[in-house]
Amino acid sequence: MDKVFIEGLEIEALIGIYDWERRIRQSLVFDVEMAFDNRKPAASDAIEDTLNYKDVSKRLIDFVSQSDFGLVETLAERCAALILDEFGVQEVRLKLSKPGAVRGARAVGVIIERSRS
């Protein structure tokens, strides 16, 4: 299966379980791979036949910037479900990074893979 990807999408969000985290917005970084058959858009050369990564990015930015979750695990699950439900992809692999959350580490986070059941 072909993949459409978004790499390094930075979104400011309210995320975390500690009191100090609940008072600030933090930068999160998303890497997303979505299974999508690219043969139709390749043949038609028409944007309406694609999985439009700009539309997916805008939707994630809107959702994440308005979210208020404690755990990155919860946010990752909700984002994966949103992509599967709203964009009709069969599978999604989502990496959500929280830069600077642990001293000495560039980033921490989760990687999840979900598919339509």
What lies within 8 Å, CB to CB, of 28 at 6+ separation is 10, 11, 12, 13, 15, 64, 72, 75, 96, 97, 98, 99
* Across 18-22, 38-42, 49-53, 54-58, least confident range: 18-22
- The answer to whether the predicted template modeling score (pTM) of the entire model surpasses 0.95 is no
1-33+66-117, which class in CATH? Answer: alpha beta
Output the pLDDT for position 117.
Answer: 75
Rounded to a whole number, what is the distance in angstroms from the first to the last CA of the chain? 17
Output the pLDDT for position 16.
Answer: 85
Catalytic machinery residues: 98
Q: What is the pLDDT of residues 5-45, one digit of tens each?
A: 999 999 999 998 888 878 889 999 999 999 999 999 999 99
SS3 for the chain is CCEEEEEEEEEEEEECCCCCHHHCCEEEEEEEEEECCCHHHHHHCCHHHCCCHHHHHHHHHHHHHHCEECCHHHHHHHHHHHHHHHHCCCEEEEEEEEECCCCCCCEEEEEEEEECC
For the chain, the domains span 1-33+66-117
Can you tell me the distance from the alpha carbon of 15 to that of 64, in angstroms, rounded to the nearest whole number? 10
